[in-house]
Amino acid sequence: MVDPWLIGLISYLGLALIVLLFAIWPILRGVHLHPGGESFESAPVSEDSRRRLLAHYSRIQGTLAFWKNRAELYRRMHYYTVCWSIPSSVAVPFLAQAITVSIGRIE
């Protein structure tokens, strides 16, 4: 017979790993930048300034994407940590006691 506490422990760890994958998803797929939009073309500046603005944006676009990915990763990891610290502090002591008893029964 399978112990329900062992099933609970495996379910808890499986759910934690699945949610962790969603938390680190920005590393795997990346976050896309919003396009520069029409604000560059309609800016009330000279044509030379507009050309420089577009050139500057194209040079900084990689850095913006990197930091946006980091910000999204840190935001998701923050929520992951906060949302799992409360259930973990309650569930882990019970599951640890139960699995210790289960291991004792197996021997």
Residue 5's pLDDT band, with cuts at 50, 70 and 90, is confident
pLDDT, tens digit (0-9, with 9 covering 90-100), for 59-86: 888 888 888 888 888 888 898 888 888 8
Mean pLDDT throughout 42-55? 83
Structure tokens at 91: 């569930």
Count, residues in the chain: 107
Distance separating alpha carbons of residues 54 and 38, to the nearest angstrom: 11
Confidence (pLDDT) at 10: 84
Using DSSP, state whether 67 is helix, strand or coil.
helix
Distance separating alpha carbons of residues 58 and 64, to the nearest angstrom: 10
Confidence (pLDDT) at 103: 55
Q: Quick count: other Cβ atoms within 10 Å of Cβ 9?
A: 19
pLDDT, tens digit (0-9, with 9 covering 90-100), for 27-46: 778 777 776 667 767 778 88
